[in-house]
Amino acid sequence: MAEEVKLFGTCGSPFSSRIQVALKLKGISYEYIEEDLTNKSPLLLKYNPIHKKIPVLLHNGKPIVESLVILEYIDETWKANPILPEDPYDRATARFWAKYIDEKCVAAAVKAFWAEEKEREKAVEEACECLKTLEGALKDKKFAGGETLGLVDIAASFIAFWLRSFQEISGVELLTEEKFPDLFKWCEEYVEHPIIKEHLPSRDELIVFVNKRRQNLK
Amino acid sequence: MGDEVKLFGSWASPFSRRVEIALKLKGVSYEFIQEDFSNKSPLLLKYNPVHKKVPVLLHNGKPIAESLVILEYIDETWKGNPIYPEDPYERAVARFWAKFIDEKCMPAAWKACTAEEEQEKAMEEACECLKTLEGALKDKKFFGGETVGLVDIVANTIGFWLKVIQEMMGVKLLTAEKFPVLFKWSEEYVGCPIIKRDLPPSDELMVHFRAILKRAK
């Protein structure tokens, strides 16, 4: 049976990159469609009418949206190289941390980087709290998934790459080796993983992405 | 093997009640520990140090937090009366709607009911959310089809808690006129035996919410 897999994504988006990593890990062939977030395609709006966002996975014509939902779908549909652990308790732990990254860490970091001057100090404090909590979870492990990449690692690419790049761009310091030595070490190893490395944007691509996102948010 | 199941929760919390619905549906015996939000127990803080919230499920000494994560855990651990659909695509759809309810619908609805400023805008956004959610029901009796499924359980916030809050605040958000399909679902929903037994008394819930809103000021 011929499988048709398409991914609507945007170069520079951490959520888009997550899906590419997962598909690559599982050896799934797919067609990639680059979306311009300032000029969304009719197909994107058709397949994700509620949120109108990327990534959107299209599997044999059926759309799945929201990156964590897509990752679970991929893991349930293609069984090779599992992203989620087998044991239900370990799965719950992985889901907990993936949610934490998306709902707290990403939000806190974005706020810290783009906050108005007067709110910045508080936002940085909150973001550092998140990083400290996350460091506790990732400590002593090569990857959150053990020796191989798992759900939490894939979700945490935002921390390992995007957050650290935004630091450089904005000049706001969050994740430093002094403050979070374990997390910093984890990040350094993570971005060297071949599949991760392959799906990280270049500095220029990241800047284009950030500028378009800020344009969209106005 | 004896299974030891404990639930740290609150009678007034829809998130806590969701977990109870699921445990009862699966015939799992559990010990319920009522938490006082103004005085959280050392055990709660030990088992959920990150969020310090209910519900927390303790299964043979291992804690699981976050209601949606707990629901998946329950479904994967106790196989009878599945909550999640079997097909991966249907599961993805269910997860999508559960997230939508928790991340968009209920926050928008709460804001519309309790906002003092910009009430009109909040109302508009909440109506958008409810309209979208209604679209997911279509002609079905429940979100899960003929029987209650994950999305219905998660929608306890919309099906019951929202109606209590809007009545208390005098806000007409989820009405039969505006959302006939969703309203009809909510009426069936609160009458459904497996849901009904985990709905708190509305008058007591109103007292509880009034206290929360007063504290927030």
Question: What pLDDT shows up at residue A168?
Answer: 86
Which of A4, A57, A64, A152 to mutate against chain B (most B CBs within 10 Å)?
A64
DSSP H helices, B28-118, are 42-47, 67-77, 88-100, 106-114
Cis, bond preceding A55 (omega within 30 deg of 0): yes
* A100 contacts on B by Cβ (under 8 Å): 50
CB contact under 8 A, B96 and A65: yes
CB contact under 8 A, A73 and B89: yes
Total count of residues recorded for chain B: 217
Question: What pLDDT shows up at residue B215?
Answer: 85
* B77 contacts on A by Cβ (under 8 Å): 88
Does B100 touch chain A if contact means CB atoms closer than 8 Å?
Answer: yes
Give DSSP secondary structure letters for A22-53: HHHHTT---EEEE--TTS--HHHHHH-TTT--
Which of B87, B95, B102, B128 to mutate against chain A (most A CBs within 10 Å)?
B95
Question: What pLDDT shows up at residue B116?
Answer: 85
Give DSSP secondary structure letters for A41-99: -HHHHHH-TTT--S-EEEETTEEEESHHHHHHHHHHH--SS-SS-SSHHHHHHHHHHHH
* B154 contacts on A by Cβ (under 8 Å): none
Q: How far apart are CA A29 and CA A23, in angstroms?
A: 7
Beta bridge pairs of residue A52: none
Pairing mode, strands A56-59 and B56-59: unpaired
Q: What is the ipTM of this complex?
A: 0.95
By CA distance, what is B91's nearest residue in A? A73
Question: What pLDDT shows up at residue A47?
Answer: 97
Question: What pLDDT shows up at residue B95?
Answer: 98
Q: Of B93, B77, B213, which Cα lies nearest the Cα of B150?
A: B93
Question: How far apart are the CA of B133 and the nearest CA of chain A, in angstroms?
Answer: 10
- pTM given for the model: 0.95
Which of A96, A99, A134 to mutate against chain B (most B CBs within 10 Å)?
A96
| Stretches in chain B below the pLDDT threshold 50 | none
Q: How far apart are CA A137 and CA A144, in angstroms?
A: 8
Does B73 touch chain A if contact means CB atoms closer than 8 Å?
Answer: yes
pLDDT (tens place) for every residue of chain A, 218 residues total: 568 999 999 999 999 999 999 999 999 999 999 999 999 999 999 999 999 999 999 999 999 999 999 999 999 999 999 999 999 999 999 999 999 999 999 999 989 988 888 889 999 999 999 999 999 887 666 565 566 789 999 999 999 999 999 888 888 899 999 999 989 988 998 899 999 999 999 988 998 888 887 776 65
